[in-house]
Amino acid sequence: MTSEVVEYAAMEAPTLAAALRITAAENGDETWVKNRDGSVLITWREGLERADRIAGGLRGLGISKGDTVALMLVNRPEFHIIDFGVMIAGGTPFSVYQTYSADQIDYLLEDSASKVIVTEPTYLETVQAACAKLDQPPKIVLVDGPPSGVEGTISLAELEESDPDFDGAAATDEIDPDDVLTLIYTSGTTGPPKGVQLTHHNLMSTVRSTSEIVNFPRRSRVISWLPSAHIAERAAHHYIPAVMGFEITSVPDHKLLMEVLPEVRPNWFFAVPRIWEKLRGGLQAMVAGQPDEQREPLEAALNAAIEKVRLEQAGEEVPAEMAATVAEADEKYFAALRVMLGLDQVVTINVGAAPTPVEVLEFFHAIGLPLAELWGMSETCGGGTVNPPGKIRIGTVGPAVPGVELKLAEDGEVMIRGDLIMLGYRNMPAETAATIDADGWLATGDIGQFDAAMYLKIVDRKKEIIINAAGKNMSPANIEAQIKTASPLIDQVCCIGDGRPYNTALISLDADFAPQWAAREGIEDASIASLSQNADLLKLVQEAVDEGNSHLARVEQIKKFKLLGTEWEPGGDELTPTMKLKRKPIAAKYADEIEALYAPAT
């Protein structure tokens, strides 16, 4: 961490809109947001001027205080100025997942009562189909369209030019801390998506809490790569940078992330567990592919470093010889690995949104990257707990962030209270009342435990706990994490076992590592469908399942599995856009495969 304690004047602003103006004034011609090659680069001064012009144009389209505007855009520099333009106009911007169908978009537009939707040519046909279903369809603003737009749309350029005299500063003064800043729609796997209403006050409190935990240097760099409909993306790569003046690099395709990391060398990097699992798997494969004279000392150094991490976590003394060996290995090997990954300048790195296997956390700590788990929800602005730098307890998601209270209900459900708690679900007063009690405690749906230091450990989602035929309670997420981390060949695992005599699993192959394995083996047909039938690969997956099972209690272990011949894509039938398993749809889609796993042996 940087030794200088950085003070940000925007931190005390009452709203994100006011904070943005302070940050833009301080940073002027510094870069606010750019794309990967720098062909699109927006400075803070230019960005605020354009956001004001967009706000004026939106006012001309009828947007006034409290009106809602939908955005369906890839991660691109323009997103940030458009989103803040809506905010300055007094509106509430929210993002739509790019994988959504016309029917799903139609629901969001109607529920939110959106008056405008901003999109780009790739999604225009889908957006138009969604709008056609509505009695009062929103106006469509098209980014990258022709100057005059296409029929039924207005171009972003036209919007920016329609009211150049709009007073953005005056409009900002009209925004109140309790105004709704954005909507975050839940994935809707257990019913209609719920619109989580987050206020300026909610997000500003989250930013202040973050600043108390991590001292970010000025002009810190972050990468915008998660979907902007995800609260983690909005908080980490949109709102916090607006207050602290971070430089943002937009990456429109998450598959390019590994390439972009070394180019940007971010100071803060947050990713879901699957990204960290892939990074670890790639490094392990690289080490395994070295000649013996290089591989063996590197493996020995990694093993020593992991053992050192385990001793430190247990509060035990690290032998001087081990400490010296690891220090030498850090200089000789690990520093170069951090540079190769593009993580040599990080102040903090975080993982969240799903359980992360302890082995993954230990690995990154061992190579000098103290990966810290955190926990939060859309309903809490993505915040709640975090392992603070220098005080990480592996296997937990950390203590409560400043200003937040936590407690456990009688059944172990985590309850949370603080300024980051949502205003409520849009148009769903009954659901809001069922989630937030009269004293302001929000029921999270997660089952947790506290350790002696009041660091929280998440056991699983309350509704996803498996109770087998013998009445044993188990965490499917923990089981799945152990199997996934056992081999880079495995992408997703869905554990089945509720009401069953034993646990089974559906397993999908990793679309990056499986073809690489096929190439090394000289296999011409490297399609996932073909590889799922390959006897040698099936054997490797079985070995991975056996390895994962070795870390589980006997009752938790996977007895049988089905290797599927299809990829599970975010936003598809099996995964939400944030890569959470859609358990009920999976159970329905693969009912035959699941029943076959429980069929009596013939």
- What residues does each domain of the chain span? 9-163+171-254, 273-344+346-462, 465-597
Q: Please provide the CATH number assigned to the domain covering 465-597.
A: 3.30.300.30
Rounded mean pLDDT, 410-436: 95
Measured on CA atoms in the order 513, 310, 329, 292, is the torsion positive or negative?
negative
Cβ–Cβ under 8 Å, residues 477 and 460: yes
Rounded mean pLDDT, 373-391: 94
What is the distance between the alpha carbons of residues 309 and 265, in angstroms, rounded to a whole number?
Answer: 25
563 φ, ψ to 5°? -85, 120
Same fold, 9-163+171-254 and 273-344+346-462: yes
The model's confidence at residue 79, banded by pLDDT at 50, 70 and 90, is: very high
Q: Average per-residue pLDDT in the chain?
A: 92
pLDDT, residue 188, reads 62
Domain 9-163+171-254: give its CATH architecture. Answer: 3-Layer(aba) Sandwich (3.40)
Element housing 458 (H / E): strand 456-461
Place of tokens 């939060």: 376
Place of tokens 């069953």: 500
Q: How many Å separate Cα 504 from the centre of its chain?
A: 28
pLDDT, residue 143, reads 95
Over residues 11-51, the pLDDT tens digits come to 999 999 999 999 999 999 999 999 999 999 999 999 999 99
Least confident of 30-34, 46-50, 144-148, 393-397: 144-148
pTM metric for this prediction: 0.88
What is the distance between the alpha carbons of residues 84 and 162, in angstroms, rounded to a whole number?
Answer: 17
The model's confidence at residue 2, banded by pLDDT at 50, 70 and 90, is: very low
Q: Which residue type does 347 have?
A: V
**Which range, 274-283, 420-429, 481-490, has the best average confidence (pLDDT)?**
420-429
pLDDT, residue 1, reads 40
Least Cα distance to 78 among 50, 109, 59 occurs for 50
CB contact set of 284 (below 8 Å; sequence gap of 6+):
488
What is the distance between the alpha carbons of residues 212 and 227, in angstroms, rounded to a whole number?
Answer: 26
Measured on CA atoms in the order 553, 372, 392, 401, is the torsion positive or negative?
negative
Q: With 80 as the cut, is the pLDDT of residue 149 above it?
A: no
pLDDT, residue 288, reads 83
Which one of 3.50.50.100, 3.30.420.10, 3.30.160.340, 3.40.50.12780 gives the CATH number of domain 273-344+346-462?
3.40.50.12780
Query: Between residues 504 and 152, which one has the greater pLDDT?
Result: 504
pLDDT, residue 602, reads 62
Over residues 325-367, the pLDDT tens digits come to 999 999 999 999 999 999 999 999 999 877 888 999 999 999 9
Cβ–Cβ under 8 Å, residues 425 and 193: no
Phi-psi region of 396 (alpha: psi -120 to 50; beta: other; left: phi over 0): beta
Annotate 23-62 with b (16+ C-beta within 10 A) or e (fewer). bbeebeeebbbbbbeeeeebbbebbbbbbbbbbbbbbebe
